[in-house]
Amino acid sequence: MHPAPSSRLIVPIRRREFVRAGAGLTAGGLLLGSPWGAAISRAEAAAGSFGRARSCILVYLLGGPPHLDTFDLKPDAPSEVRGPFQSIETNVPGTQVCEHLPRLATIADQYALVRSVSHPNSNHTPMIYYTLTGRETDQPLVDNDIRPPQRSDFPHIGSLVTHIQPPSDALPGYVAIPELAIRSSTEGEFKRARSALRGGAAGILGPRFDPLCVNGTPGAEDAVPAISLPEDVRLERFEARQDFLSQLESGLTSTAARSFDANRSRAITLTGAANQGSQSLFSVASESPEMHDRYGRHRFGQAMLLARRLVEAGVSVVAIHFNEMTVCDGWDTHSNNFEGLRAELLPYLDQGLSALLSDLNERSLLDSTLVACFGEFGRTPKINANAGRDHWGDCSTTLLAGGGIRGGLVLGESDSIGAYPKSNPINPVDIHATLLHTMGIDGEHIVYDMQHRPYRASNGRVVGELLG
């Protein structure tokens, strides 16, 4: 039996307390005196927003994107705060973004910006876990504590959605491009080795709900190692093997055998779907050269293109963990912040994200697809001696679009130097709860771990101002 995490936000609901709480439900469904966080208030959610999103694409800027150099510039701040970048007008009067996001500036009416996301923790791994699972880790003050995912972890939002809303056998529920991981380093030189991080898998829900990872180049034949056929096994031979195995096991009747067979059958179906050449679920070969150019012929752009194809096919959650896609160290810009942003990070984000939003809109998919873009935290207002910005959990910006989100909205405001929220502070767990709400999952929904212990789906509140 796996021990329950020690964080107060992930303590399972004791059965006796759960029954007592059930007796205290109000007509609106609120848990009276609940110790497990604020419940969803139906009054604060706009009509028609619950369950409006059929799919979710999470663009996770791993490392911590600088809000002051992307979506919350401070042109009147001192030079050591504002930096060299200029702000430009968007197609929404009064809303400005960075000059290096010109494409996104032209479609600001399609997304909302939350400029007051705040949590008092500036450590990578605890905040990655917090923003993706909606729970604190058992070591919230430890930075860069690279421990592999554990079965005692709370699930990534993609695993949670898949658990509550299971996909068909022909589709994966949660696809990660790539898996949640960072590069390991030795004496300052980064290796290509990857270290998986807590918060990226299914944890307490079990391996069945772990992500299907696209760790190779998006669209390449070997991009999905888990369901790639060996070189000496063609699809026809693979299918013949499965037919023969089915005949041998036709007499199995135990519950365990049937459960195993169901999981294996799903894996077989996905393996076949992934090895159908240009028609593969994970191929982008059939897209036109113009479409590849539109998204960008770089790893991030092609990941976004693949994400669109996956949600178009019916995949529930696609998480693009935007790190290790550039020659710089992702979004952890402690040094040469502006050089890295200008040369790669912002052009890649601007091209890929604007193409995704516009493409979904043109295909009439944006209304049913929630797109969320954020990282684990923002970065310091003051520029350091290495022309970089350091970790800053007290203020950051989140971009949301589609799936019932009000386009053209700017919610919340940071202070004059972008250090703290000036109005409407939003906890990252509230973003988490809002994403679940648009996917048709109430935060009060109870999920059970492998030991059948009950947990709330979310401890946050739905940010009703975002919905419409």
Q: What is the pLDDT of residue 265?
A: 55
CB atoms within 10 A of CB 149: 21
Mean pLDDT over each residue of the chain, to the nearest integer: 83
Nearest CA-CA partner of 293 in 360, 341, 359: 359
Stretch 392-412: mean pLDDT:
98
Position 111 confidence tier, pLDDT thresholds 50, 70, 90:
very high
Q: What is the pLDDT of residues 181-238, one digit of tens each?
A: 876 554 444 444 567 889 999 999 999 999 999 988 888 877 887 666 555 545 555 4
Residue 51 has pLDDT above 80, yes or no: yes
Residue 260 has pLDDT above 70, yes or no: no
Residues 6+ positions from 329 with CB-CB distance below 8 Å: 63, 183, 190, 340
As a whole number of angstroms, the distance between CA 156 and CA 179 comes to 11
**Taking phi first (over 0 means left), then psi (-120 to 50 degrees means alpha), and beta for anything else, what does residue 461 get?**
beta
Q: ∠ CA(409), CA(176), CA(230), 5° rounding?
A: 155
123 token code pair: 């450590």
End-to-end CA, the chain? 44
Residue 36 has pLDDT above 70, yes or no: no
Q: What is the pLDDT of residue 254?
A: 54
CB 322 within 8 A of CB 331: yes
Q: What is the pTM of this model?
A: 0.83
